Amino acid sequence: MPRTTLIKDYTHQMGGHCGSGAMRDLLQWHGLGWNGPPGEGLVFTLGGALGLSYLRSSDLIPPLYLVGRGADFEIDLPRRLGGQVQVLTTDDPREGWSWVRDEIDAGRPSLVWGDIAELPYLRVQLQMSRHDIVVIGYDEARGIAFVVDNDRAEVQEVPLDALARARSSTSFPQPTRHCTYRIKWPGALPDVAEVAAEAFRQSAASMRRPSQPGIVDLTTAAAGAEGLAAVAQLAADVRTWVDLPIVDLEILLFALNAFIEKAGTGGGLFRRLLADGCADVARLTGDLATADLAVAARRCAQAWSKTARAGIQRDVDVRARVDDVAFAASRLPELELDLVESLESASRSLTAAAH
């Protein structure tokens, strides 16, 4: 017999980023927070997810990729909060669907990956496999799943065959392999100051000494790096763009703006989410170093947004726009270093206060 199950009263808000938006919803649904449900910025910040990867390669469409978070946010956040996470992957669609169905039948929303190009409600052509969505129900008789996405305010009805394609994608940056996060959340959350201190420490280390592979594979890039080296390389690389053909320039400038502002970053390449989260931590703890960190993150977010906007100015010659982007980007390495130092300072301050 075809089955139908729907988790009712699932609280959802649109988010700036798929991962932190989904996790914010899940935390509220489980009744977890500090002085009320956490905001998305706080969720992103406590994941210790800040990072930076840059690459430019003719093998990519568009030939540039820029991402401002690390690869393991969906694992690190629940574990840092005292939960447990299993990451399930398979190439067997029946097995992959059984994981989702079993979670929903048990009354638990299921966090999964889905390629954005295969999710019909998004109406995009660009493929990107690592997009977090939450499945909260299904109707096998109608052949649909009920999906919650940070980019849409309402629950979406997605055909099961489209969901299966989204969950079996082999597109950039990696195969989805029906990836499912089975999360067991804690009954109560640990002290926010201790969680934030560890998250700040991890984010700073990811930028200063990236040791774990990021979301993208940099081995085939004509230009590519991670952490502080990535922002330095981007700033240097942009200065060389002016000699490229105009068609290539337009593509690069459009893509740069999209990856900084539009591609589920919360604006300012995730730095705006970080600024919001640090302001929340400062409010909850009264820590002055964290308040300063929020200012440093806001400055970074504004500088990234200025760089993005410079490339899409109307009625400005494309080569002049490249010059403007290069000038705006030249400030980024110093601001990112200041952000890392502020993360380290706030981590030490919160740790000292706890002891």
pLDDT at 190: 97
Q: How far apart are CA 271 and CA 354, in angstroms?
A: 26
Q: Which of 184, 207, 232 is the last residue of a domain?
A: 184
Is-contact 3 22, C-beta < 8 A? no
Q: Which two tokens stand for residue 30?
A: 């489980």
Distance CA 93, CA 167 (A): 8
pLDDT of residue 58: 80
Number of structural domains found in the chain: 2
pLDDT digits (tens, 9 = 90+) for 248-295: 999 999 999 999 998 889 999 999 999 999 999 999 999 999 999 999
- DSSP assignment of 96-152: HHHHHHHHHHTT--EEEE--GGG-GGG---S--S--EEEEEEEETTTTEEEEE-TT-
Closest C-alpha among 325, 331, 329, 327 to residue 312:
325
What are the tokens at 340? 């890392």
Closest CA to 298 of 12, 41, 2: 41
Report the alpha-carbon distance of residue 291 to residue 282 in Å, rounded: 5
**Residues 27 and 149 reside in one and the same domain:** yes
Indicate if 215 and 142 belong to the same structural domain: no
Q: Are residues 198 and 341 in the same domain?
A: yes
CA atoms within 13 A on the CB side of 337: 6
Whether residues 177 and 221 share a domain: the answer is no
pTM to 2 decimals? 0.94
Q: CA 145 from chain center: how many Å?
A: 24
In a domain, residue 77? The reply is: no
For tokens 């449900």, the residue is: 37
Does residue 63 lie within any of the structural domains?
no
Domain with 321 in it: 192-354
Write the pLDDT tens digit of every residue in 105-135.
Answer: 999 999 999 999 999 999 887 788 899 999 9
| Structure confidence at residue 123 (pLDDT) | 86
In sequence order, what are the residues at sequence separation of 6 or more whose Cβ sits closer than 8 angstroms to the Cβ of residue 355? Answer: none
Last residue of a domain, one of 164, 184, 204: 184
Summarised one tens digit per residue, pLDDT across range 167-197 is: 999 988 889 999 999 999 999 999 999 999 9
Instruction: Tell whether the model's pLDDT for residue 220 goes beyond 60.
Output: no
Q: Give residue 1's pLDDT.
A: 58
- Tokens 């910025």 locate to 41
Pair (172, 203) in one structural domain: no
Residues 108 and 167 in one domain: yes
What is the C-alpha separation between 166 and 163, in angstroms, rounded? 5
Residues 114, 163 contacting (CB under 8 angstroms): yes
Pair 231, 343 in one domain = yes
For residues 204 and 178, membership in a common domain is answered with no
Domain stops at, among 133, 158, 184: 184
pLDDT at 145: 98
